[in-house]
Structures are given as structure tokens and as C-alpha cells.
Amino acid sequence: MNRSEPDIRPILAALQGSDLECDDAAETQVGGSKMRERSIKTIVRKGMGKRPGLIWTLVAMVRSLGLRNLLFGLWDCVFIGLILTLAVWAAVFGSFMKTAWPSRVDRIFGLVVPIFVCSPVLFLVVHLLVVLKERNLNTLNLIRTCRWSFRQIAAVRMLLFGMVSMMISSLATVLLAQTTNPGLSTMTLLGISFSSLFLFSLAQIWVEEHVRGELSIYLVLGLWIVLGWILYLTRFATAPILFFIPPALSLATGLVLLLIFLLVLHERCVGSMLPKRTCG
């Protein structure tokens, strides 16, 4: 059989219907100039609507969606996160009590390093599980086309995880400080705990907005383990600094980082309505 390449140009030309040509013609008159100018004028006249901030979004979202829908399909992640967090803090407490610390500095850093590494654990576990679950279930694209902005939902979820993490790490830190008498004030340890939690959260937000790739969500986790390790290795050099920092200053640093965290979430709610262009 002769299967030579047929000349389909005539039929293609016929099928390239007049509709498209009509659109192009109309567009030159309407879309190309007048409509575009009218749209620009309307936007300039009305201005860009200001979006509500974090607090309003939190209140409106909890009212409209309810807590159940805010974490719809994700309660298992929250449950696993809570169990894992309790287990981690119990392990920290147990190992600290069992270990015979060779020096005062070793004893202090035997508590400071776990507090630094473990304070963001609830935020980390719940946030990672939620992201991975929504990725695996392919629900993100659907949620992104709904009326509630996904950025707002993500910001409110982060606020929720951050606050619960803060409560749990505060409880754990106070309990550890009171029962073990490590040689550092509770305020200093709380400052370390809050600083670690909110620095971690800020780093996680930055990485998610700026770093691409499947494995990017694990980047901050890896960084935190390395930082904890470095903190332990440099304990003798770092110890004098820790002793001389006033406890109130340590706690204030943690609270300032909390404030920055809230401002970043607020910015995510209020922020640009337009997704970034990839190019062009």
C-alpha cells in the first residue's frame, strides 16, 4: 500500500475555521486597545481591594469553615504529630535523667541542644504530614480554585500549629527546667525554645516560597539537626555566652521572633493577590 505522506493542507485550511479569524479581528479592535484601556482605567479608579489581615482571616475562617474543615481530612496528621511530640519530649526527659554528665557544661548542653532541636517538632511533623498528604491525595489543585484563598488557609493552619507547638514546648521546657535543675534559668530555656520554634517556622516558610524541588520541604529539618549538632560540638565555646545573656533578653528574643512569625503570616494573608509570573 502506498502510505506516502498525504497533503492535508487544504483540509487543515478548511478546518481552521472562520471563528478564530473572527476572534482575531474582534480582538484587534476590542481586546487589543479599547477593552485593555478600559480595564486599566477601572483598576486605577477603584484601586486594588485591600485584603483582610491575619486576625480577621483567622476569625472569619474559623467562623466560616470551622476548625473541623480547616483541617479537613488532616486530623490523622495532627494526632500523629501530637503522639510523636509527646514521645520525643518523654525521650529527652528520660535520657537526660539517666545520663551521668561529666561536667556542668555537658549537663547544661544536654538540655539546651534537645530543647533547640525538639521545640519545632510538633510544627515540623504536622506541617510535613499535611503537605505530604495533600500532595499524595492531589487535593491541592482543587482547593486552590475555591473561593477561600489557599494562602490564607495555609497561613491560618501555620498559626494554629505554631501556637500549639509553643504551648507544648513551653510546658515541656518548664517541666524539664523545674525537675532537673540544669543550671540555666527557665526564662533562658524558654527563650531558646521559642527562638528555635519560630526561626524554624520562618525558615520553613522561606524555603517553601523560594526553593523548588520535591525534597525542599526536608531542607530545614536537615539544617536544624546540623545546627543542633554544631551547638553541641561548640558547647564549651558557647557556654559562657549563654551564661552572660540575661534571661529576660533570651525570652525577649524568642518573643520578637514570634512577632516576626505573626507578621510574615499576616503578610501571606494580605500579600500580593497576583501569583508571581514565572517569566516574561
Give the list of residues 6+ apart from residue 61 with CB closer than 8 angstroms, or none: 70, 148, 152, 153, 156
Cell 510523636, located at residue: 84
Closest by alpha carbon to 253, among 194, 183, 182?
194
Q: Which of 6, 47, 102, 213 binds other proteins (CB under 8 A)?
A: 6
Q: Would you count residue 69 as binding other proteins (CB under 8 A)?
A: yes
* One-letter amino acid of 21: E
The nearer residue to other proteins, 138 or 181, going by C-beta atoms, is 138
Of 155, 153, 127, nearest in space to 268 by CA: 155
Task: Retrieve residue 90's grid coordinates.
Answer: 518523654
Our CB check for other proteins shows the closer of 40 and 87 to be: 40
Residue ranges in 100-139 that form contacts with other proteins under rule CB under 8 A: 134, 137-139
Least Å distance between CB 219 and other proteins? 23
Cα–Cα–Cα angle for 248, 188, 80, rounded to 5 degrees = 125
**Is residue 108 exposed (0-12), middle (13-18) or buried (19+ Cβ within 10 Å)?**
buried
Q: Does 240 bind other proteins (CB under 8 A)?
A: no
| Residues in 136-165 at the binding interface with other proteins, rule: CB under 8 A | 137-149, 153
**And the C-alpha cell for 38?**
478600559
Question: Does residue 3 bind other proteins (CB under 8 A)?
Answer: yes
Question: Whose grid coordinates read 539537626?
Answer: 225
| 87 counts as binding other proteins under rule CB under 8 A | no
Subset of residues 14 to 53 that bind other proteins, contact rule: CB under 8 A: 14-17, 19-20, 23-24, 26-27, 31-32, 35-36, 38-39, 42-43, 48
Least Å distance, CB 21 to other proteins, is 10
The one-letter amino acid code at 72 reads F
- Could you list the residues that contact other proteins (CB under 8 A)? 1-8, 10-12, 14-17, 19-20, 23-24, 26-27, 31-32, 35-36, 38-39, 42-43, 48, 64-66, 69, 72-73, 76, 134, 137-149, 153, 273-280
